[in-house]
Structure 1
Amino acid sequence: MLHKNDDNNARASASMTSTELAREALPQKLKRKIKRSLGPWGIFIEGFLRNPVMVGSIVPSSRFTINRMLKPVDWANCKLFVEYGPGVGTFCQPVLDRLPRDGMLIVIDTNPLFIEYLRKNISDSRFKAVLGSAADVEEIVKAHGFEKADYVLSGLPFSTLPEGVGPAIAAATHRVIRKGGAFLVYQFTPRARDFMARHFKRIDNGMEAINVPPCFLYWGWKDEDEG
């Protein structure tokens, strides 16, 4: 049987627990409020801070970079477009705006935060967001009913990826792209070209200054006469 003092102590203990819980919850509420106020930027920054090695920049690509990167694509003959490291979807809507009605856009990211955000915010039936590694692109493409991809876009930071991952992604990408297709890469260092050159004989180069930071642009073509 509880005495009066025991009852008062229990209430005080419960009160302290509630107060402590409120204090614990406050930072989380503040984080959510800040994230909501920042919108996609908040998600992008959080994703970068969680795993900077897999995210090329803390700032999404500019519209100038997007337009230049996508300009060489033959959209009339594009049935499958693949993107590595989509982040919060900076390229997704521009790609979907250009993609034929019977086409598909598959984006691949190892960050569940980005994949969850994209699945919630892009309702286009042509869009598929996959949680996984770009090195597994062949299996992912086949799982969605395709043998080859027409184009693959990547903003992954090849120079900072774990050892062996960059070469594996470049090799798998070359295998999965159809003849006549291309590997589209935007990077902040020119090292990405070295990974591409091992597989793509013809690489067009560019640079976009109106971007933070300015970036190198590459289009690696898989020509029709390749073996």
Structure 2
Amino acid sequence: MSGTELARKSAVTRAKRRLEDKLGPWAVFFKGFVQHPVMVGSIIPSSRFTINRMLSRTDWDRCKLFVEYGPGVGTFCQPVLDRLRPDGALIVIDTNPLYIDYLNRTIHDPRFTAVLGSAADVETIIKDHGHDGADYILSGLPFSTLPDGIGPAIVDGTHKVLRPGGAFLVYQFSAAARDFMAKKFERIDSDFEPLNILPCKLFWGHKD
């Protein structure tokens, strides 16, 4: 590829990023959904009602590490950072480089780390970033449409890295996630948020 072609490609990339930033997170989220609908599971981000209800049972005073699977464009990220203690950390994991790139360009907080990878590898990821366990793990991944074996692997890894007293927070459009969670979490609390598109089922799997 010639220097002129490289310069043209670089200019196009910068133009696309400027357009995405101008259109806002919804445009980026929709683009990611179009690229990987099975992994994203929703055409628009979660509502503020879902966010507040989902995070309401978290003991923020004891939370040193909060992990999120499938952060998308960061709908939960700033609300988590707003609640997280000053010496806490937030690690988000996504398989879509579009989202990871967007998050790294728009969130500037020393407590925040965005990782391109699979939630099934959570144990390795948090160890690589200097942590021996997580206090809370949040997931909006569509368990009912994940490839075979991925759902159980994610739940197994999640239960393993959660510290005693921690919890696995899951929001879904169906109850399929609860079936996966029940294989590892004996105590699961459930709730429902109607003010979301679509109405959302909420689950908290506790590691007692």
TM-score normalised per structure 1: 0.84
1:39 Cα deviation after fit? 1.1
Task: Please tell me the root mean square deviation across aligned C-alpha atoms, in Å.
Answer: 1.8
Partner of 2:199: 214
Equivalent of residue 87 in structure 2, options 82, 102, 106: 102
Q: Deviations over 1:110-132 (max 9, x none)?
A: 00000000001001000000000
- SS in structure 2 opposite 1:180? strand
Q: Which amino acid in 1 is paired with 2:121? A: D
Partner of 2:137: 152
Equivalent of residue 48 in structure 1, options 17, 24, 33: 33
- SS in structure 2 opposite 1:146? coil
1:29 Cα deviation after fit? 10
1:137 aligned onto 2:122? yes
Which protein is bigger by CA-based radius of gyration? 1
Asked if structure 2 preserves the Cα contact closer than 8 Å seen for 1:86 and 1:107, the reply is yes
Asked if structure 2 preserves the Cα contact closer than 8 Å seen for 1:34 and 1:42, the reply is no
Q: Deviations over 1:83-136 (max 9, x none)?
A: 000000000000000000000000000000000000010010000000000000
1:200 aligned onto 2:185? yes
Distance in 2 separating the partners of 1:107 and 1:32? 21
- SS in structure 1 opposite 2:91? strand
Q: Deviations over 1:5-63 (max 9, x none)?
A: xxxxxxxxxxxxxxxxxxxxxx9999778644421111000000000011021110000
- SS in structure 2 opposite 1:106? strand
Q: Deviations over 1:163-191 (max 9, x none)?
A: 11001001100001000000000000011
Distance in 2 separating the partners of 1:114 and 1:31? 14
Distance in 2 separating the partners of 1:188 and 1:115? 24
How many residue pairs get matched?
A: 198
Partner of 2:5: none
TM-score normalised per structure 2: 0.91
Asked if structure 2 preserves the Cα contact closer than 8 Å seen for 1:157 and 1:187, the reply is yes
Distance in 1 separating the partners of 2:188 and 2:101? 34
Distance in 1 separating the partners of 2:13 and 2:59? 46
Unaligned runs of 5+ residues in structure 1 are 1-26
Unaligned runs of 5+ residues in structure 2 are 1-11
4+ aligned runs moved over 4 Å, structure 1: 27-34
